[in-house]
Amino acid sequence: MTADRFDPASADIRWQQAWDNAQTFRADDSSAKPRSYVLEMFPYPSGRIHIGHVRNYTMGDVLARYKRMIGHEVLHPMGWDAFGMPAENAAMEKGVHPGGWTRDNIANMKAQLKRLGFALDWSRELATCDPDYYGQEQALFLDLYAAGLVYRRESAVNWDPVDQTVLANEQVIDGRGWRSGALVEKRKLNQWFLKITQFADDLLAGLDTLDKWPEKVRLMQENWIGKSQGLQFGFDLSNGDRLDVYTTRPDTIFGASFVAVAAEHPVAQGIAAGNPAAQDFIALCRQGGTTAAELETAEKLGFDTGLSARHPFTGAALPVYIANFVLMDYGTGAIMAVPGHDQRDFDFARKYGLPITRVVAPDADRADAPFGDEAEAGDGVIVHSGFLDGLTVAAAKAAVIGRAEGEGWGQGKTVWRLRDWGVSRQRYWGTPIPFVHCEVCGVVPVPKKHLPVVLPDDVDFSVPGNPLERHPTWKHVACPQCGHAARRETDTLDTFVDSSWYFLRFASQPADRPFDPAMIAQWLPVEQYIGGIEHAILHLLYARFWTRALAHIGLIELTEPFASLFTQGMVTHETYERRNPDNGQPVYFSPAEVERGGDGARLRADGAPVQIGRVIKMSKSKKNVVDPDEIVARHGADAIRWFMLSDSPPERDLPWSEAGIEGCARFVQRLWRLFAQYDAGASGEDRALARKTHQTVHAVAGDIEALSFNKAVARIYELTGATEKAAPSADRSQAIRTILLLVAPMMPHLAEEAWTSIGEHLIADAAWPTVDPALLIDDEVTIAVQVKGKLRDTLVVAKGTPREDLERLALASDKVQRALEGADVKKVIVVPDRLVNLVA
Ligand code: ANZ
Ligand code: ZN
């Protein structure tokens, strides 16, 4: 070994170049080895890598490098989820072009990833904003259209009446346009949809096969798909009409105290026809967000129509309201409301003074207890319900459905919460939807030979709205069918479409089609997918849907794209703040601005204390962020990688600390010093260390396969400590060499540097150490040998060695003989597997 310190500043980049030059991490499509496809969710090119990326990609990297070491051909690619709003916002705020902004960001972030030494196959890099990529996406979209999985219909969008533009959901803040501040309205527009509901049953059933997915993610998907069994039935209205409602709780039918319809429901529209107050109320419902979550949390509002509905069992006249919490596109757009057992109905009933009746009680004695502030959603026994009294909830459901079907006023029915996926966005920076609108032919797909439909470069962001719509020439084309003047579709695709198939494109990137099915058969499913829990629902569901849809039209043979899923925890840090004396608002300071002592923290600028706040996810707004570049510059890539793996289980939050990263940097140097002691010529045995070495290799392999990186790290610390303490021997040298191989996936730069210094070449290509199964079993014990009660020697012997043998071995020891100084042994006390005491 040459240098006495490992110098990451020079070594890191040297090895990164060596891997690049040797194309070490390029996946070989024609390899005969077993294959592993390791994938981390590709980043949005926001401009800089943040610490969460570092954690996610380090985990994937360790697994990918480990799989290579155990002899797999590994596909570990990287790309960019490059379309989306932030680029347009930057264009509007800074006057830069979204394309240029995005490409600059990609260049920056790619350099950052390279500087961290990730074992990525950069030859397969892709960005979803490349026409090569989105053109193939357009081709797939046309295939799905031909198969009837794409359609157009009217649906509500957020409309900013001042800026005269459609807003994305994230541009609606508290019901107002983010730029104009105007109250947002719901507007109907013709939009494109993907028929995900056709696969609802299959997407649900498939969850059962995903036994290497976190239970919580499967549950979230199940809830999102939301299959529910219920009853659809008709109320006779006082005006002679019939009103169909859908309920999942027919057992609570005797608790219904009113009926409610959505603002868009025909009954509401009918009432509004001659009633300005009803019209105003319906207009009010149209304001605010369009999402189910927003409707759920908004204040419950109603309008009494004056109509009544006849209860099918009691004949009671229930008032009919128009209510803002009833959705038109779920069930029938109308409900029977049971305030005692549904929170929304409860809130509504309290507000409008409607009866609240308990029809399910924990037990019959509690049938008449007063209500608290909440509806009672729990299970129990049916009360106040005529012929249902005393039944369980399940039995009552069956009884009511039976009566309804028998008497012909209702039908048992399955309803799904999952809606078809609206993919139209009235934005510039996305994949153009490849259709034209012709006055003669209607909606016409762009012929595949004319793909890609490329975004125009010369666009104007100085006025609100969709630049594609305003572009002077782009949308004017000839109809591909009849040649008449036609208009291009100016909607672009939801960026979730781009991320629904990128993992397929990584397996092969032909120029003339989206992918080579043979390569998909070879590489997919992804063996291990790693990403954030924020993608537990939409991204993963859409990717599962696209995979099914493409299989459905015969393009691929694959049902589930991700065999195993891991969702990593967040990196957290304490916050530093002071209160603004004028308004009491917190003012945050970054860790770099703060001097942290054992007892408190001070602002470097003025030396006065700042308050140490909660430990929370690193975020720019709370300024509790550390910059990975700065850490790498100070400590090197291996120290930050090691930190990302240490201490916390990977699914939990990882608290960042300065002491922690410094400890990691010290450990890098400690290993370097240990590696310097490697002596190929050392002789002599150290069976205990040999055993520990083999046991550690075995355990660390299991830990990495299980992604329990923190456990692997702890074991490596332990073996390092034991090796440092051991006397020189062939086994010790072997232990040092083994530690080098064990840390190679985690600290690849240090490992390469040390590997060269012991005369080897490129540890990235080295094999994982083999384990001798015989050494995994702890079949040896250490025996203390005492002379007159004083410890003189130890013996390592097989467990259960007989007394006579132990006595003989003890007497044969040089150290014992020296301690006896020629005296006669009067008595020998032997405790098997523990000790031998010689009394002289
Ligand atoms: C009576 C009832 C009593 C209900 C009770 C619930 C609890 P999930 O389970 O999410 O599918 N509902 C039906 N259609 C609706 C619509 N278009 N807009 C808003 N709410 C609607 O929800 C089904 C329940 O949501 C249905 O069962 C209905 O209220 C309501 F203790 O009927 B329920
Ligand atoms: Zn035409």
Cβ–Cβ under 8 Å, residues 149 and 548: no
Confidence bin at 290 (pLDDT 50/70/90): low
323 CB less than 6 Å from ligand 1?
no
**pLDDT average, residue stretch 529-536:** 94
The pTM of the full predicted model, rounded to 2 decimals, is 0.84
Please report the atom of ligand 1 found closest to the CA of residue 252: 3
Confidence bin at 294 (pLDDT 50/70/90): low
Please report the atom of ligand 1 found closest to the CA of residue 226: 11
Question: pLDDT tens across 519-529, in order?
Answer: 999 999 999 99
| Backbone φ/ψ region at 174: left (φ over 0), alpha (ψ -120 to 50), beta | left
In this structure, which ligand is nearest to the CA of 478? Answer: 2
Please report the atom of ligand 1 found closest to the CA of residue 250: 1
In order, the DSSP letters of 21-84 are HHTTT---TT--S-EEEEEEPPPP--SS--HHHHHHHHHHHHHHHHHHHTT-EEE---EE---S
| First CA to last CA distance, the chain | 50
**pLDDT average, residue stretch 136-141:** 98
**pLDDT average, residue stretch 349-376:** 95
357 CB less than 6 Å from ligand 1?
no
The residue to mutate among 248, 252, 321, 413, having the most atoms of ligand 1 within 8 angstroms of its beta carbon, is: 248
24 CB less than 6 Å from ligand 1?
no
Question: Picking from 163-172, 215-224, 784-793, 827-836, which range would have the lowest pLDDT averaged per residue?
Answer: 163-172
User: How far apart, in whole angstroms, are the C-alpha atoms of residue 153 and residue 191?
Assistant: 6
In this structure, which ligand is nearest to the CA of 484? Answer: 2
Q: Which residues pair with 185 in a beta bridge?
A: 159, 287
User: How far apart, in whole angstroms, are the C-alpha atoms of residue 815 and residue 834?
Assistant: 18
Phi, psi of 635, rounded to the nearest 5 degrees: -120, -10
Q: Which two tokens stand for residue 223?
A: 């809830």
Distance 698 CA to ligand 1 centre (A): 54
CA-proximal residue: ligand 1, atom 26 (nearest)? 247
Question: Picking from 271-275, 295-299, 530-534, 773-777, which range would have the lowest pLDDT averaged per residue?
Answer: 295-299
Query: Which helix H or strand E contains 435, and what residues bound it?
Result: strand 435-438
Higher pLDDT, 417 or 57: 57
Distance 145 CA to ligand 2 centre (A): 18
3-state secondary structure 436-504: EEECCCEEEECCHHHCCCCCCCCCCCCCCCCHHHHCCCCCEEECCCCCCEEEECCCEECHHHHCCCHHH
Taking 70 as the threshold, does the pLDDT of residue 376 lie above it?
yes
Q: Which two tokens stand for residue 305?
A: 């129509």
Q: Centre a 10 Å sphere on the Cβ of residue 20 and count the other Cβ atoms it contains.
A: 13
331 CB less than 6 Å from ligand 1?
yes
Distance 434 CA to ligand 2 centre (A): 15
Please report the atom of ligand 1 found closest to the CA of residue 248: 27
89 CB less than 6 Å from ligand 1?
no
Residue 195's contacts (CB-CB under 8 Å, 6 or more residues apart) are 148, 149, 150, 151, 420
Measured in residues, the chain has a length of 840
Phi, psi of 156, rounded to the nearest 5 degrees: -80, 140
**pLDDT average, residue stretch 471-475:** 96
CA-proximal residue: ligand 1, atom 29 (nearest)? 247
The stretches of 763-830 forming alpha helices (DSSP H) are: 803-812, 814-820
Question: pLDDT tens across 152-178, in order?
Answer: 999 888 888 887 778 877 778 888 887
**pLDDT average, residue stretch 498-517:** 98
Taking 90 as the threshold, does the pLDDT of residue 279 lie above it?
yes
**pLDDT average, residue stretch 635-640:** 98
- CB burial of residue 668 (10 Å; 0-12, 13-18, 19+): buried
Question: pLDDT tens across 604-615, in order?
Answer: 999 999 999 888
Residue 442's contacts (CB-CB under 8 Å, 6 or more residues apart) are none
Distance 164 CA to ligand 2 centre (A): 29
In order, the DSSP letters of 618-680 are --GGGT----HHHHHHHH-HHHHHHHHHSSS-TTS-EE--HHHHHHHHHHHHHHHHHHTT--T
**pLDDT average, residue stretch 179-191:** 89
Confidence bin at 800 (pLDDT 50/70/90): confident
CA-proximal residue: ligand 1, atom 19 (nearest)? 326
User: How far apart, in whole angstroms, are the C-alpha atoms of residue 828 and residue 840?
Assistant: 9
**Model pLDDT, residue 292:** 57
- Nearest alpha-carbon partner for 117 in 67, 76, 69: 76
252 CB less than 6 Å from ligand 1?
yes
Taking 90 as the threshold, does the pLDDT of residue 823 lie above it?
no
Taking 60 as the threshold, does the pLDDT of residue 291 lie above it?
no
User: How far apart, in whole angstroms, are the C-alpha atoms of residue 597 and residue 329?
Assistant: 58
Taking 80 as the threshold, does the pLDDT of residue 1 lie above it?
no
Taking CA atoms, 358 is separated from 349, 355, 670, in Å, by: 13, 10, 69
CA-proximal residue: ligand 1, atom 12 (nearest)? 335
Cβ–Cβ under 8 Å, residues 495 and 439: no
The residue to mutate among 223, 249, 341, 357, having the most atoms of ligand 1 within 8 angstroms of its beta carbon, is: 249
Taking 80 as the threshold, does the pLDDT of residue 585 lie above it?
yes
Taking 70 as the threshold, does the pLDDT of residue 335 lie above it?
yes
- Nearest alpha-carbon partner for 203 in 635, 500, 411, 622: 500
Confidence bin at 179 (pLDDT 50/70/90): confident
| Site of tokens 């467990």 | 799
The residue to mutate among 233, 247, 385, having the most atoms of ligand 1 within 8 angstroms of its beta carbon, is: 247
CA-proximal residue: ligand 1, atom 32 (nearest)? 247
In this structure, which ligand is nearest to the CA of 415? Answer: 1
Q: What is the mean pLDDT of the chain?
A: 94
What is the crossing angle of helices 51-69 and 628-635, to 10°?
Answer: 60
Distance 489 CA to ligand 2 centre (A): 14
Question: pLDDT tens across 247-257, in order?
Answer: 999 999 999 99
Question: pLDDT tens across 730-765, in order?
Answer: 999 999 999 999 999 999 999 999 999 999 999 999
3-state SS, residue 118: coil
Query: Which helix H or strand E contains 156, and what residues bound it?
Result: strand 150-160
336 CB less than 6 Å from ligand 1?
yes
Please report the atom of ligand 1 found closest to the CA of residue 332: 17
335 CB less than 6 Å from ligand 1?
yes
Distance 261 CA to ligand 1 centre (A): 12
- Is the Cα torsion angle 527, 532, 537, 543 positive or negative in sign? negative
Question: pLDDT tens across 548-570, in order?
Answer: 999 999 999 999 999 999 999 99
Please report the atom of ligand 1 found closest to the CA of residue 415: 11
Q: Which residues pair with 565 in a beta bridge?
A: 529
**pLDDT average, residue stretch 502-515:** 97
**Model pLDDT, residue 175:** 84
The residue to mutate among 330, 360, 414, having the most atoms of ligand 1 within 8 angstroms of its beta carbon, is: 330
248 CB less than 6 Å from ligand 1?
yes
Distance 476 CA to ligand 2 centre (A): 13
341 CB less than 6 Å from ligand 1?
yes
Higher pLDDT, 617 or 205: 205
Q: Which two tokens stand for residue 433?
A: 């939807």
pLDDT > 90 in the chain, percent: 81
Distance 554 CA to ligand 2 centre (A): 30
Please report the atom of ligand 1 found closest to the CA of residue 328: 17
CA-proximal residue: ligand 1, atom 22 (nearest)? 248
User: How far apart, in whole angstroms, are the C-alpha atoms of residue 703 and residue 745?
Assistant: 13
Q: Which two tokens stand for residue 733?
A: 């040298």
135 CB less than 6 Å from ligand 1?
no
Cβ–Cβ under 8 Å, residues 800 and 832: yes
Please report the atom of ligand 1 found closest to the CA of residue 360: 31
| Backbone φ/ψ region at 245: left (φ over 0), alpha (ψ -120 to 50), beta | beta
User: How far apart, in whole angstroms, are the C-alpha atoms of residue 704 and residue 232?
Assistant: 52
User: How far apart, in whole angstroms, are the C-alpha atoms of residue 675 and residue 680?
Assistant: 12
Query: Which letter does DSSP use for residue 609 in this model?
Result: E
User: How far apart, in whole angstroms, are the C-alpha atoms of residue 271 and residue 409?
Assistant: 24
User: How far apart, in whole angstroms, are the C-alpha atoms of residue 428 and residue 440?
Assistant: 27
333 CB less than 6 Å from ligand 1?
yes
Residue 538's contacts (CB-CB under 8 Å, 6 or more residues apart) are 496
Cβ–Cβ under 8 Å, residues 572 and 616: yes
Distance 232 CA to ligand 1 centre (A): 11
Distance 436 CA to ligand 2 centre (A): 9
| Backbone φ/ψ region at 242: left (φ over 0), alpha (ψ -120 to 50), beta | beta
User: How far apart, in whole angstroms, are the C-alpha atoms of residue 514 and residue 553?
Assistant: 14
3-state SS, residue 150: strand
In this structure, which ligand is nearest to the CA of 477? Answer: 2
**Model pLDDT, residue 172:** 82
| Backbone φ/ψ region at 53: left (φ over 0), alpha (ψ -120 to 50), beta | alpha
Distance 226 CA to ligand 1 centre (A): 12
Please report the atom of ligand 1 found closest to the CA of residue 230: 27
**Model pLDDT, residue 151:** 98
3-state SS, residue 420: coil
Taking CA atoms, 21 is separated from 14, 108, 348, 624, 675, in Å, by: 11, 21, 68, 38, 26
Q: Which two tokens stand for residue 776?
A: 């995994």
